[in-house]
Amino acid sequence: MPNPTISIITTVYDAKDYLPGTVRSILAQTFRDFELLLVEDGSPNGCGELCDELARTDPRIRVFHKQNGGPASALNVGLEHARGAYIGFVDSDDLIEPTMFETLLGAIRDNGVRLAACNADAVDEHNAPVPGAGVQIEPTGRRDAMELLLDTFRTGGFYGLLCWNKLFDIRLFRDKGVRFDESMFFGDDASELHRVYDGEQVYCLPLTLYHYRRRSGQMTEAVFPPRKLDDLKMYWNWLRWFSDRPERRDYYRWAVAWYWKAFYLFWCQAAEAGNLKELKDRFLAHKKHLDSILPDILRCPYVAPFEKIRAVAFCAAPDLTYRLAAARGRMQKP
């Protein structure tokens, strides 16, 4: 059979209750020239058998079973076996609109770009909307793809950090040698997107075509999941990448400001969640990076003067700085 136009990758781990609905929403696409790669990552609870069962319902589904190695390793298996000219990603418990991939492909072809993106909203375990949990960006239309990361630095938004609200020309991964970092278990899909975005234009659609699942008790809902420290590795890699590109100097400044903000926020969240002690060594492994950019934090126009003072104090005595800030916060409460 000829190769399909689009390859859709869905990695599967412990999603047996939601996977059939996810697959149905993919198979209902109005654009039908695609393959669906279900990469089963050594999942418990019969997910492997379910993937095989689903594959028997539609010849466009291909199943790959592997030993558990984490989401990035499963994504890489999908990248290796994808046969399409374009590639999309759908999480195993999410839902998509029937027109999603037809619309994204049309945006790519009509605007002479190699990736397109859409908005997303959230649903709960019962497919009910979760208010205030949308993912969107302004302005829409054609823009420099790297601005999607700049939006994260400026606003904390997740639009640019996601693979699943986008359709990519597969050459953006293969020609650039992009693979996902298999040492990461949190933020793994965002870890290499700066390389995908480099030198590219993206077309951002003002349409909500993706519905991501927010399940109570899952890793992304925990007060401070330890694996979130993977984000510090991701942010540091971005910072170093921009530091080597003089033409992106302002991006480097924003990355410096964001690294400080994220590090201090994570430290406070872990302390408030009660698991800072057990994570201290992992934090300190990253703190050497924070210490090394302290001069750039002090020069950064995107770090407020008080935050610069806090950064100096924190680098010198992180525990004391946090305790003083926490005590001050308690005193200010009514």
Q: What is the 3-state secondary structure (H, E, C) of 1-16?
A: CCCCCEEEEEEECCCC
Shared-domain flag, residues 162 and 112: yes
Domain count of the chain? 2
**8 A C-beta contact, residue 15 and residue 44:** no
Shared-domain flag, residues 233 and 214: no
Q: What is the CATH number of the domain that holds 100?
A: 3.90.550.10
Tell me if the pTM is above 0.85.
Answer: yes
In a domain, residue 195? The reply is yes
Q: How high does pLDDT run on average in the chain?
A: 93
Shared-domain flag, residues 142 and 36: yes
Shared-domain flag, residues 132 and 43: yes
From 220, 252, 274, the end of a domain falls on 220
Shared-domain flag, residues 181 and 245: no
CB proximity list for 253: less than 8 A, separation 6 or greater: 296, 300, 301, 302
CB proximity list for 274: less than 8 A, separation 6 or greater: none
> How far is residue 242's CA from residue 151's CA, in Å, rounded to a whole number?
15
pLDDT of residue 225: 85
Shared-domain flag, residues 212 and 69: yes
Shared-domain flag, residues 44 and 116: yes
Pairing of strands 86-89, 61-66: unpaired
Q: What are the Cα distances from residue 326, in Å, to 43, 185, 279, 310?
A: 41, 30, 19, 13
> How far is residue 122's CA from residue 135's CA, in Å, rounded to a whole number?
9
Give per-residue pLDDT as tens, 131-152: 988 999 999 999 999 999 999 9
In a domain, residue 178? The reply is yes
**What angle, rounded to 10 degrees, do the helices at 305-316 and 276-292 form?**
110
6, HSE (Cβ side, Cα atoms, 13 Å): 26
Shared-domain flag, residues 243 and 306: yes
From 160, 187, 220, the end of a domain falls on 220
Shared-domain flag, residues 91 and 189: yes
In a domain, residue 159? The reply is yes
- Write out residues in the chain with pLDDT < 70, as ranges: 1, 217-222, 331-334
% of the chain residues with pLDDT over 70: 96
pLDDT of residue 190: 83
Shared-domain flag, residues 210 and 86: yes
> How far is residue 228's CA from residue 220's CA, in Å, rounded to a whole number?
9
In a domain, residue 242? The reply is yes
**Domain span at 184:** 6-220
Both tokens of residue 196? Answer: 């995908």
> How far is residue 291's CA from residue 315's CA, in Å, rounded to a whole number?
6
In a domain, residue 1? The reply is no
From 188, 205, 220, the end of a domain falls on 220
**Which stretch of DSSP H or E encloses residue 284?**
helix 276-292
Shared-domain flag, residues 44 and 154: yes
In a domain, residue 175? The reply is yes
In a domain, residue 227? The reply is yes
Shared-domain flag, residues 177 and 315: no
Tell me which residue of 244, 87, 242, 234 sits closest to 174, measured CA to CA. 87
In a domain, residue 266? The reply is yes
